[in-house]
Amino acid sequence: MIPSGFEYHAASSVQDAIRLLTENEDAKILAGGHSLLPMMKLRFAEPAHLVDINGLRELKGIDRDGDVIQIGAMTTENELIASEILQQHCPLLVDAAKLVADPQVRNRGTVGGDVAHGDPGNDHPAVMLALDAEFVIQGPEGERTTPANGFYLGTYWTGLGEDELLTAIRVPVIKTGTGYGYNKLKRKTGDYATAGSPVVLTLDSDVCREIRIGLTNVAPMAIRAEAAEDLLRGQVVTEALIEQAAEQVMAACDPAEDLRGDVEYKTHMAAEMARRSIRDALARARS
Amino acid sequence: MAKQHISFSLNGQQVDALVEPRELLVHTIRETLSLTGTHIGCETSHCGVCTVDLDGVSVKACTVLAMQANGSEVMTVEGLADADGLHAVQQAFIEEHGLQCGFCTPGMLVRAYRFLRDNPNPTDEEIRWGMSGNLCRCTGYQNIIKAVHSAAQKLQQA
Ligand SMILES: Cc1cc2nc3c(=O)[nH]c(=O)nc-3n(C[C@H](O)[C@H](O)[C@H](O)COP(=O)(O)OP(=O)(O)OC[C@H]3O[C@@H](n4cnc5c(N)ncnc54)[C@H](O)[C@@H]3O)c2cc1C
Ligand code: FES
Ligand code: FES
């Protein structure tokens, strides 16, 4: 299987990449290529131009500035896993990256590509919703930042313009009193989620002050289970409340039936992943 | 689409090729450069049989454009053995029966080579995790795990 023909451009800078996107009709960014090339082989995508950004070192790397960690879009999954900054200050991203695909894919696949692709099966989008991350985007008009919440509009449909480039992702440092968890059900190692749920919550003398519950692969795009969050916010989170929240998680799901399961199964599994992640997050927030 | 010239190091030798932008690295290696040790299995980035070493990391050569290998260092299964004979990883796969039909073996060997470079003294759990991008239809994996373990010991003694 070989993709159909296209013109290949290696971008020499971020500005050059944006110029290539603007000047060429039907051009696409090539990051790790581990979503795009498989789609091109199957003719689900047939871009006329590929703009390769693998040479742009300025899009790599992880830096902490106080309470904010900035991650270059071209940072690979394996680089997330190896990052001491993330292990110490945002281990949720390390845990999530470990659940993405397999070692070879994680060597090529980038966090920027994972969040920009708009595939509901990708793990990072829901994680970014739960973290309340911010995306740094460069376009012909300059730089803008936009919250992850609100970025996902539908399947392969995000707030990114056709001539824009995602350059970095900003996530907050996870502090004492804040807990996190990501549980993902998959059929086998290396598979996309049947259902997944990242949770980040903050306790204040055991009262849940803030909580975000993300959901992976159980709707046309990554979503939050907001009604479930509303139930838990301001409360001491008991098992009985988690059960009520799980009902609300199920109400938020709208999965597509496929080889990973039917609608009912995926909906129930999403609730179970959310229960587990809420419990993990509570335990970590208390410790 | 016009063909473009690329040049890279393949198993230590500088090679040149004319490739279409859409050509995948695995095809260039097998068809243009005639090294057929690297196999093609699923062609959909799942099975790992096309694994090669690209600038010191394991990648699936069916999911990298040949253009992207320009200027890089590539190692395939043919690069493992040297004048002294088989590489420790290859020897261990023979001794521990880490293969049956042998179709997955080139990918397994090249991946095991890189994995042991990164983690010379792994636990069984780490081997399972590190080799999880390579599928095998025959062995049931147990002997592959044993072979990687045994290769680790051989390499440590060497
Ligand atoms: C076998 C296999 C298993 C997988 N399992 C999982 C899994 O479990 N979980 C998971 O999350 N993913 C999984 N993936 C997908 C993988 O993680 C991809 O690498 C990822 O989804 C896309 O990142 P990429 O860098 O490869 O992007 P590419 O494939 O290069 O690009 C994807 C899309 O995003 C656009 N894009 C990329 N970078 C940018 C940018 N900086 N700015 C603007 N647009 C950009 C591209 O134009 C393209 O449309 C799997 C892939 C394979 C092959
Ligand atoms: S042929 Fe490349 S992963 Fe299967
Ligand atoms: S030995 Fe036959 S596929 Fe692995």
Six-digit token pair at A6?
């296209």
Rounded to whole angstroms, the Cα distance separating A261 from B97 reads 37
Asked whether the predicted pLDDT for residue A128 surpasses 90, the reply is yes
| Residue to probe by mutation, ligand 1, list A15, A54, A105, most atoms within 8 Å of CB | A105
State pTM to two decimals. Answer: 0.97
Output the CA torsion sign for A88, A85, B133, B142.
negative
User: pLDDT tens for residues B22-53?
Assistant: 999 999 999 999 999 999 999 999 999 999 99
Percentage of chain A with pLDDT > 90? 99
Residue B9: HSE in the Cβ half-sphere, 13 Å Cα cutoff: 11
User: pLDDT tens for residues A77-107?
Assistant: 999 999 999 999 999 999 999 999 999 999 9
∠ CA B76-A9-A33, nearest 5°, is: 50
Sort strands A195-204 and A207-215 into parallel, antiparallel or unpaired. antiparallel
User: Which of A235, A228, A223, A234 has its CA nearest to residue A275?
Assistant: A228
Asked whether the predicted pLDDT for residue B1 surpasses 80, the reply is no
Please check whether residue B151 is in contact with residue B88, taking contact to mean a CB–CB distance below 8 angstroms: yes
CATH of domain B88-157: 1.10.150.120
Helices first, then strands: H and E counts in chain A: 11, 14
The set of residues, in sequence order, having a beta carbon less than 8 Å from that of A259 and lying 6+ positions away, is none
Burial A201-240, CB ≥16 within 10 A → b, else e: bbbeeeebeebbbbbbbbbbbbbbbeebbebbbeeebeee
Rounded to whole angstroms, the Cα distance separating B4 from B19 reads 5
> Which strands make up the sheet holding A178-185, listed edge to edge?
A178-185, A195-204, A207-215, A223-224
User: pLDDT tens for residues A9-18?
Assistant: 999 999 999 9
Asked whether the predicted pLDDT for residue B56 surpasses 80, the reply is yes
Q: Would you kindly state where each structural domain of chain B is located, as residue ranges?
A: 4-78, 88-157
Out of B20, B44, B48, the one facing A104 most closely (by C-beta) is B48
Provide ipTM, 2 decimals. 0.97
pLDDT score of A126: 98
* Torsion from C-alpha of B104, B109, B114, B116, nearest 10 degrees: 120
Residues of A in contact with B65 (CB under 8 A): 8, 30, 33, 37
Q: Residue A205 C-alpha to ligand 1 middle, in angstroms?
A: 40
Is residue A4 within 8 angstroms of chain B, CB to CB?
yes
pLDDT score of A1: 86
User: Which of A27, A168, A79, A34 has its CA nearest to residue B68?
Assistant: A34
Sort strands A142-147 and A62-65 into parallel, antiparallel or unpaired. unpaired
Q: What is the mean pLDDT of residues B68-91?
A: 97
Asked if A33 lies within 8 A of B59 by C-beta distance, the reply is: no
User: pLDDT tens for residues A256-270?
Assistant: 999 999 999 999 999
User: Which of A128, A153, A148 has its CA nearest to residue A137?
Assistant: A148
Rounded to whole angstroms, the Cα distance separating A46 from A119 reads 17
Rounded to whole angstroms, the Cα distance separating A174 from A192 reads 26
Which of residues 31 through 60 in chain B touch A, CB cutoff 8 A? 43-46, 48, 51, 57-60
pLDDT score of B158: 79
CATH of domain B4-78: 3.10.20.30
Rounded to whole angstroms, the Cα distance separating A23 from A46 reads 18
In order of their start, the domains of chain A are 7-52 (3.30.43.10), 57-172 (3.30.465.10), 178-286 (3.30.390.50)
